[in-house]
Amino acid sequence: MDVEELRRAAFGDAPVLPPGVPGSPRAELLCAIVLGAQGRYAAAATLLRALGRGPDPVLSSLALSTFASHRRQLGGHQAAFAFDGAALRLVAGVAGEPDPDGLDADGARADALLGLAADNLGVGRLPVARRLLARVRPRGWRSEVRLGWVTAEIELASGRAAEAVAPAEAALALAAAAGALRHVTKSQLVLAAALGATGERERALHLVVEALGVSEEFALRSLSWPAGLLAAEHGADVPARDRSRVDAVLHAVLLRTDPDGRRLARDSPWVPA
């Protein structure tokens, strides 16, 4: 697999895994990111566990943060703490060449801090999540977008839906400017949640429908089941259809998840039974 093709799949306008086998650690990381987006968590975990033990502290940190994000996508916020903490320790004081997509030391630090903020958000520790968020120094478009997501999610969890709209709008604009289709789709869902909570249900539903279409077209199962839940919530005429679709996607995801991940999903209040 060519690294530039994999970059396009992970961070560009064609989120489809190219054929072949990744030929370098960086290619393996990008491949794992795409696999996670597709809900193929077991295959991603095999690559990420090995990378997390590798000699390059930046790639190891990015791999651990990515693995932690996959645990969160399965509802395992508590389980993600150790991986995000280890990711942050690996890049303490490390420098290096910048990367256009933040696959560098500064980007790895931002990823780990954003992950820890999201972990604390998921277990209800909102003041800690806010303190961690304040430590983030975004480097490049990707960490800026993720900062917008986590900021909006913290505001929503704090009952401040109106304050969640601006960071969600900013994340969507940044992702669109970067041409990052997967990040646009996630940003649409975050913004839809914020708008729906403020009563702007018509625009929220429009965003959800767009996100659902893209996630289904490219088999982005990590996003299609949350999109289905939001569609069921905002589209009063189709809740049964969308909930049925959510069940089918989750079943497909869990079939492609490692045993620990399945247990986390089963036990999580964030993942519908």
Helix, strand, coil % (nearest 5) of the chain? 75, 0, 25
Write down the pLDDT at residue 98.
95
68-90 average pLDDT score: 98
Q: What is the mean pLDDT of residues 71-90?
A: 97
**Rounded CA separation 250/44 (Å):** 17
Alpha-carbon distances of 271 from 11, 194, 260, 262, 266, rounded to whole Å: 26, 19, 15, 11, 7
- The CA distance from 256 to 135, in Å, is 35
Q: String of b and e for 83-122 (b: at least 16 CB within 10 Å)?
A: bbbbbbebbeeeeeeebebbbbbbbbbbbbbbbbbbbbbb
Looking at 96-100, 200-204, 228-232, which range is the least confident one?
A: 228-232
- For 77, the enclosing helix (H) or strand (E) is helix 77-90
Give CA torsion, residues 87, 88, 91, 97, to 10 deg. Answer: 90
Among 3.10.20.30, 3.30.930.10, 3.10.20.90, 1.25.40.10, what is the CATH number of 3-263? Answer: 1.25.40.10
pLDDT range class, residue 174, cuts 50, 70, 90: very high
Q: What digits encode the pLDDT tens for the residues 222-251?
A: 999 999 999 888 765 555 566 778 889 999
Distance of CA 228 to the CA centre of its chain: 16
- Which among 173, 125, 130, 138 has a CA at the least distance from the CA of 155? 130
Instruction: Write out pLDDT tens, residues 111-139.
Output: 999 999 999 999 999 999 999 999 999 98
CA distance 110 to 256: 29
User: What phi and psi, each to the nearest 5 degrees, are found at residue 29?
Assistant: -60, -50
> Where do the domains of the chain lie?
3-263
Q: 272 falls in which pLDDT band (50, 70, 90)?
A: confident
Give the amino acid at 20. G
Task: Go through the chain and tell me how many residues it has.
Answer: 273
pLDDT at 160 over 60: yes
